[in-house]
Structure 1
């Protein structure tokens, strides 16, 4: 049984689908070497894990973690902050901007 509004593992919501298309365009342009949806799982503590939306390798070899959000819960924000302290990746929170605000993607770095 899944909570209301939750999708099964490895199933993308509309924001994640749109961001996947954005990453595919960046890959085609040569900016991104590789990316995978829910491709890694990070251990934060005993019995506590964080599965980011996208693991991304840039063309220069740097690894990034991209988390797409429409809104943040306290639990999700704590997990990404803890992960950013524990792991040597650049962590980015990605939020889709409304068309009336110019569209595109708003990025927050942790």
Structure 2
């Protein structure tokens, strides 16, 4: 019996998956609460090297004017973790990786900060 192979395809640029859509709802709530001044899905494209770029899922401006880059992941692949670490070393932004917590863990989001 052959093993089933599943594609790890990415949606077209500008389209959100379910996890990103859920996180966007959180950012919208934070915006209404006055914590977030502005955010944009795939709003930045950062050059890491020749022909190597990193596009964070969300560019976020906090109410105080600080810019953050938020990466939303269900699970990490090594290349994605490497890119966010490299970007954090190169750019003066705060980088956050967020992952949804399971309902049995109380829900919400786990946050990992890269600075």
**Structure 1 length-normalised TM:** 0.96
Query: Following TM superposition, by how much is the alpha carbon of 1:10 offset from its aligned partner in structure 2, in angstroms?
Result: 0.6
> Who is 2:95 aligned against?
91
> Who is 1:17 aligned against?
21
Gaps in structure 2 of 5+ consecutive residues: 1-6
Does residue 59 (structure 1) correspond to residue 59 (structure 2)? The answer is: no
Quote the RMSD (CA, aligned, Å).
0.8
Count residues in correspondence: 108
**Structure 2 length-normalised TM:** 0.92
Structure 1 CA distance, aligned partners of 2:21 and 2:109?
Answer: 13
Describe how 1:14-53 pairs up with structure 2 within 5 A. 14-53=18-57
> Who is 2:3 aligned against?
none
Structure 2 CA distance, aligned partners of 1:22 and 1:65?
Answer: 15
Query: Which among 3, 12, 37 is matched to residue 8 of structure 1?
Result: 12
CA radius of gyration, larger in: 2
Query: Following TM superposition, by how much is the alpha carbon of 1:55 offset from its aligned partner in structure 2, in angstroms?
Result: 0.3
Structure 1 CA distance, aligned partners of 2:67 and 2:25?
Answer: 19
Structure 1 CA distance, aligned partners of 2:66 and 2:8?
Answer: 36
Query: Following TM superposition, by how much is the alpha carbon of 1:83 offset from its aligned partner in structure 2, in angstroms?
Result: 0.1
Query: Following TM superposition, by how much is the alpha carbon of 1:6 offset from its aligned partner in structure 2, in angstroms?
Result: 1.9
Query: Following TM superposition, by how much is the alpha carbon of 1:5 offset from its aligned partner in structure 2, in angstroms?
Result: 3.4
